[in-house]
């Protein structure tokens, strides 16, 4: 009886863990980021462009942990819920902040800065 209950609890915890991992991974299916010659594009399902950040509107960029910017108003297009975010501050936009979660934030910022200098 006790062993059956322990097995049931263990199975439940395994299923819950798998569901949490699946929920975290599903965000990568929804959003992707593409750096073009003129802007950063947020793509829905890796195909449909839903948001653009023109390079001429970018004021500054930096990395931040998710808990520092979770309640800051802006465009939160994240692919990983608890990962470090790239904070992009913009001018002449309704929302002056955009928060993205590329796989390698430092490399993403360096790539965007390389495009900005051209």
pLDDT (tens digit per residue) in 15-42: 999 998 888 778 788 888 999 999 999 9
Which residues lie closer than 8 Å to 39 by C-beta, 6 or more apart?
52, 53, 54, 55
Give the global pTM.
0.76
Walk me through the domains of the chain, giving residue ranges and CATH numbers: 2-117 (2.30.29.30)
* DSSP code of residue 49: E
Which pair of tokens denotes residue 6? 């322990």
pLDDT digits (tens, 9 = 90+) for 61-95: 999 998 888 888 988 888 887 889 999 999 988 88
Compute the chain's Rg from CA coordinates.
19
């Amino acid at each position: 009886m006790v062993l059956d209950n322990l097995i049931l609890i263990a199975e439940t915890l395994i299923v819950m863990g798998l569901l949490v991992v699946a929920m975290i991974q599903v965000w990568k299916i929804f959003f992707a980021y593409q750096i073009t010659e003129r802007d950063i594009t947020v793509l829905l399902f890796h195909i449909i462009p839903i948001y653009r950040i023109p390079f001429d509107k970018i004021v500054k960029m930096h990395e931040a942990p998710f808990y520092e910017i979770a309640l800051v108003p802006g465009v939160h297009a994240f692919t990983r819920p608890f990962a470090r975010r790239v904070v992009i501050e913009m001018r002449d936009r309704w929302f002056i902040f955009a928060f993205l979660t590329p796989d390698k934030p430092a490399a993403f910022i360096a790539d965007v800065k390389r495009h900005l200098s051209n």
